[in-house]
Structure 1
Amino acid sequence: MQVSTTFRHMEQSEALKSYAEEKLERVAKYIDEPISAQVYFTVEKIRHIVEIVISGRGITTKASEATNDMYAAVDAVLDKIERQLKRYKEKLKDHKPAGENNGRTMSKKVFQAEGLETNAEPVVITTKTETAKPMAVEEAVMQMDLLHKDFLVFTDATSNEINVLYRRKDGNFGLIEPQRG
């Protein structure tokens, strides 16, 4: 597991870094290799905040916890992540599609806002290529919850079409499917 640590508003601590790396090993069994983890240690007045983002093949999850002790915050945030990953793994077993394919590659472009407001041509700021992984709608909902995202583009495992799942303002989910025929 590749672990990177960031210390904000505090001195770097090897003891804290090694403690977090040691504790991260217990969640490695829930994610397929390769695994990368980013750990952010932050001190704000008397609050000690730990945020962890874990990425593995096919899954990314994040959680944060604030306490008055940094070691307790590490334990609490890893308990949260472990619960999330256990729940995800169990639901994944129940909704596993029969045929696995690798998904479709998509490109996402971000345009400069000034170009959209005037008559000038919009300028592409960034382009990001991602893979729309094949999954069931239930799995896409779980993935959105784990990533704390407002929308997710994925390939429907049954129809093999690109779909968009989004979180509505009322807390429910909306699904955009391509029209056939």
Structure 2
Amino acid sequence: MKLTIIGRNISVTDGLRNMVEKKLGKLDKFFRQDTACTVTLSTQKDMHKIEVTIPVKGTVIRAEQETEDMYQSIDLVVDVIERQIQKYRKKIIDRRQSALAFSEAFLEKEQDKAEDAEIRILRTKQIDLKPMTPEEACLQMELVGHSFFVFQNGDSGKVNVVYKRKENSYGLIEPEE
């Protein structure tokens, strides 16, 4: 993998860079050498955060971890990425998709039965899409106590989603034009 390491509110020392390269080097067995990987290290107050983003065909494998120790955050994010890769591998094999970013050895390797869990949808819910503004949707979301809310944007007429982010802020997902 080609690692790009970025520091925000933190200087990326040689020791920190070496640790990131060593830990994320474990992921090399999954990817081809030309696969891009962006690692962002940041600090805010006493918390150390690492974000890893690996774009692959059709999706993005992404994880972030935040702890009081940057080295612990690095260890945790590698574990999360490995779990996501295993799930994504199953999806690729089931759909017989091309997986340009992944190495052949990884795709051909046998997978344990325990990791072979199917995705099951346990509940289906139908909703009545009412036209409203994103601000009204946020209020509705708070009223029902959910972390996201699907609605029809009154301005564009398209289906949008608002969701709750960390630190009591909100996000809006809307389709591209």
TM-score normalised by L of structure 1: 0.50
The 8 Å contact of residues 31 and 56 in structure 1, kept in 2 or not, is answered as no
- Report deviation, 1:50: 0.4
Q: 1:54·1:60 contact (CA, 8 Å) conserved in 2?
A: yes
Cα offset, 1:170, TM superposition: 9.8
- Calculate the aligned-residue CA RMSD, in Å: 2.8
* CA pair 14-170 structure 1, distance change in 2 beyond 3 A: closer
Separation in 2, partners of 1:78, 1:7:
18
2:48 and 2:70 in contact (8 A); partners too: yes
Structure 2 SS opposite 1:91: helix
User: In terms of mean alpha carbon deviation, does 41-50 or 15-24 score higher?
Assistant: 15-24
Partner of 2:72 in structure 1?
72
* Deviations 1:129-181, CA, capped at 9 Å, x for gaps: xxxxxxxxxxxxxxxxxxxxxxxxxxxxxxxxxxxxxx97499xxxxxxxxxx
* CA contact 2:2–2:33 (8 Å) conserved in 1: no
Following TM superposition, by how much is the alpha carbon of 1:34 offset from its aligned partner in structure 2, in angstroms? 1.8
Match of 1:137?
none
| Percent identical | 27
Amino acid at match of 2:28: A
Distance 1:29 1:57 in 2: 18
Partner Cα distance (2:162, 2:16) in 1 = 41
Counterpart AA for 1:69: D
Which residues of structure 1 form unaligned runs of 5+? 103-166, 172-181
Give the alignment of 1:52-91 within 5 angstroms: 52-56=52-56, 60-91=60-91
The aligned counterpart of 1:19 is: 19
1:31 equivalent in structure 2: 31
Alpha carbons 1:32, 1:56 under 8 Å: kept: no
Bigger strand share: 1
CA distance in 1, matches of 2:53, 2:75: 14
Write the deviation string for residues 68-102 of structure 1: whole angstroms up to 9, x where unpaired. Answer: 000010111111111101110022112215xx6x9
Q: Distance in 2 between matches of 1:170 and 1:11?
A: 34
| Structure 2 stretches lacking a partner, 5+ long | 101-158, 164-177
TM-score by length of 2: 0.51
Instruction: Tell me the equivalent position of 2:4.
Output: 4
Which residue does the alignment assign to 2:119?
Answer: none
Q: Which amino acid aligns with 1:2?
A: K
The alpha-carbon distance between structure 1 residues 57 and 22, as it changes in their structure 2 partners (threshold 3 A), is farther
Task: Give me the whole-angstrom Cα distance separating, in 2, the residues matched to 1:37 and 1:11.
Answer: 19
Could you say what secondary structure the match of 1:10 adopts? coil
